[in-house]
Amino acid sequence: MYPLKFKPIYFEKIWGSRRLTALRDDLPQGDIGESWDVACHKHGMSVVQNGKYEDLTIEELIKLKGDELLGQKVPLNKFPLLVKLISTDQKLSVQVHPDDKYAYEVEGESGKTEAWYIVEASENSSIIVGFDNCTKDMLKEAIQKGEFETLANEIKVKAGEVYFIKSGLVHAIGEGLIIAEIQQNSDITYRVHDYNRGRELHIDKALDVINMDITGEKSKGLRVEMCGYSKTYYCLNEHFALDVYEVDSSCKLCSDIKRFNVITCVEGEGKIKYGQETMNICKGDSILIPASLGKYEVLGKVRFINSYIPDVKSVRKEIMSIIE
């Protein structure tokens, strides 16, 4: 197999923008809010853009290649990740996502934990993550009075920052942003507040799943210097891991036969070399690295997210060995 690039799936949104024109030359008309770049969901199915398997859906490719694509430890019955770019000229709704237990019981699919990498941010761009000194009773009263925003924890953001959005954490993306989002393969959103835009709210379900104990803050990460590049560990949980690589010229890697990974370029441009072949990678591209690929190299001055389904114990052991 070889590194796979997929045709973007674009979604026009009320809060969308034209910001992705700086990264893409195929952007359709309208205010594009989301580009699903690696997706295997009923609301969006990725189609291979390059190489031998061009025009196959990711679902068809999983049936065809199985473990060679996803790896020996990744179930073949449901692709676990959804990788997207979010582009905003207005605020998104304030929202919350359920955990797996609630989502399967009520919605029939997995819950949604996600992570954000801030690709681009305007000078005053901000996000909402959780609340300031708030109880659920205070929250209910504020929602009834239309005073929700007085309780929200709003913080300014800048490019290069990472935020972990665990299921149960109330959150919102502000205007003037491009964000790379790595998430569970789910499309469940409960809106709490929508700035009087007339869209449906989901107050009862949201109150069921909001966890007031979760705090939202910038992820600090653990940076490790390697030969020719650095690696920063940011997110590690049962649903996915997210690391960020900064490459000066070359970064030699090897796929894990047990699990695929996805490279999302967030700065610069370069090439992925595998065997005697190379492919270009540019800011905004997401490339799926099949589990069976073997050795490959990222060349150029480039920064990328590496996301994958981890063996949590193994990665924790790796991190502890660095700390110690």
Residues marked active site are found at 191
Q: Judge whether 265 and 282 are in contact, CB under 8 Å.
A: yes
**Distance between alpha carbon 287 and the CA centroid of its chain, in Å?**
13
Q: What are phi and psi of 59, to 5 degrees?
A: -65, -45
Instruction: Show the DSSP H helices in the chain as ranges.
Output: 58-65, 67-70, 100-106, 136-145, 203-209, 312-323
Which among 127, 119, 118 is positioned nearest to 174, based on CA atoms? Answer: 127
Which among 200, 71, 210, 83 is positioned nearest to 138, based on CA atoms? Answer: 210
Angle at 300 between CA 320 and CA 118, to 5 degrees: 60
CA distance 269 to 114: 25
Q: Judge whether 287 and 58 are in contact, CB under 8 Å.
A: no
Question: Exposure string (b/e) for 135-171, b if CB count within 10 Å is 16 or more?
Answer: eeeebeebbeeeebeebbbebebeeebbbbbbbbbbb
Q: Which amino acid is at 317?
A: K
CA distance 229 to 246: 5
